[in-house]
Structure 1
Amino acid sequence: MDVLVFLIPVSLGLGLLGLLAFFWALKTRQFEDPEGDRHRVLRNDYDDHPKQ
């Protein structure tokens, strides 16, 4: 049971860190172009084997 004294704050801290990362991604407009991503996936410009 003594382990819970450490595990609960660690899990809350990690959850808070994930929430802050999500809000940072929203603030920096990481999710602004879903339409462009949809079309970019289907383009033939990209090759599985890059040129060397």
Structure 2
Amino acid sequence: MEVLVILVPLALALGFAGLLGFLWSLKSGQYDDLDGAAWRAIADDEPVGGQGRSK
């Protein structure tokens, strides 16, 4: 039971640190564009020469 004196405040401190980290990420704009990276991953890149596809 004595271990709870250490574990309960430790769990509360870690939870509070996680909450602060989440709130900081919201404030800094980490969740502004959720779809942009997904679309950039599947979008076609321009060819190196910039000429496009030849027919």
With the shorter chain as reference, the TM-score category is 0.7 to 0.9
Match of 1:8 in 2: 8
The gaps in structure 2 that reach 5 residues or longer are 46-55
The percentage of aligned residue pairs carrying the same residue is 47
Q: Which has the larger radius of gyration?
A: 2
Q: Deviations along 1:1-45, whole A, 9 cap, x unmatched?
A: 000000000000000000000000000000111121220221455
TM-score (norm 2): 0.72
Q: How many residues align?
A: 45
Two-structure CA RMSD over aligned residues (Å): 1.4
Match of 1:34 in 2: 34
**Quick one: distance in 2 between partners of 1:16 and 1:31?**
20
TM-score (norm 1): 0.76
User: Which AA in structure 2 matches 1:41?
Assistant: A
Runs of 4+ in 1 over 2 A off after TM superposition: none
